[in-house]
């Protein structure tokens, strides 16, 4: 059995053993107003155990599997941008200043763990703008409308970032996002990604 298949199976079993989290509220206090508006159009999904999504790079699939295992991680206390697990995500970013909006810390952690660290020196980033700027410099950025996202791509909005979990036959984009209503949560957007500016493809 391949590493990707093993990780997917572990994530599936983990999902079956965890209690289903109630759907999170659809507002977010720790991200900017532009993304908060986009989030209003997203469909929150409860934690589900799903089989590996088709497509994407091996590193992208590894990122999806890692992110799935973190669904339900929440801030402690809510609104604090902090918990023991979130502190571990932050460690994937060199020089992280401390608690703050942590969506970019989460994707930096997943990328590092999957073997495709973000940044010229693999240092990770704590700011969404820095991830996108690096993606453009490194030739990894895919502006919205110029390509179809794949599982494991980073989906980038003006003030928020997540990981594409899968793309539906209807073009809907399913994501796993850190710091989405103060937790790691699955979301679903239309084919425009809820107004995403683009995607960063790693690996």
* pLDDT at residue 28 is higher than 50: no
**Dist CA 89 CA 77 (whole Å):** 17
* pLDDT at residue 25 is higher than 50: no
Check residues 29 and 157 and name the one with the higher pLDDT: 157
Q: Which two tokens stand for residue 4?
A: 């990707």
Residue 196's CB is within 10 A of a number of other CB atoms, namely 25
Output the CATH code of domain 3-200: 3.90.1720.10
pLDDT band at 5 (very low <50, low <70, confident <90, very high): low
pLDDT band at 174 (very low <50, low <70, confident <90, very high): very high
Burial class (CB in 10 A: 0-12, 13-18, 19+), 189: buried
Q: For the chain, which residues make up each domain, given as ranges?
A: 3-200
Across 20-46, average pLDDT: 47
Report the chain's terminal Cα–Cα distance, integer Å. Answer: 21
**Dist CA 24 CA 198 (whole Å):** 25
Residue 188, SS3 per DSSP: strand
**pLDDT tens across 72-81, in order?**
999 999 999 9
Q: Look at the pTM and tell me if it is higher than 0.85.
A: no
Q: How many CA atoms lie within 13 A of 58 on its CB side?
A: 6
């Amino acid at each position: 059995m391949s590493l990707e298949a093993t990780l997917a199976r572990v994530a599936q079993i983990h999902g079956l053993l965890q209690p289903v989290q109630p759907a999170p509220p659809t507002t977010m206090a720790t991200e900017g107003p532009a993304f908060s508006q986009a989030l209003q159009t997203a469909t929150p999904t409860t934690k589900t155990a799903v089989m590996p999504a088709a497509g994407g790079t091996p590193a992208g699939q590894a990122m999806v599997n890692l992110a799935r295992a973190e669904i339900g991680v929440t801030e402690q206390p809510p609104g604090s941008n902090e918990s023991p697990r979130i502190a571990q995500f932050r460690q994937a970013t060199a020089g992280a200043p401390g608690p703050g909006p942590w969506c970019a810390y989460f994707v930096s952690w997943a990328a590092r763990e999957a073997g495709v660290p973000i940044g010229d020196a693999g240092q990770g980033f704590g700011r969404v703008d820095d991830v996108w700027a690096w993606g453009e410099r490194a030739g990894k950025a895919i502006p919205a409308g110029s390509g179809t996202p794949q599982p494991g791509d980073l989906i980038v909005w003006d003030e928020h970032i997540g990981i594409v979990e899968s793309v539906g036959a209807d073009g809907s984009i399913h994501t796993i996002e850190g710091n989405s209503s103060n937790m790691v949560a699955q979301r679903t957007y239309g084919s425009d990604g809820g107004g995403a500016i683009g995607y960063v493809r790693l690996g």
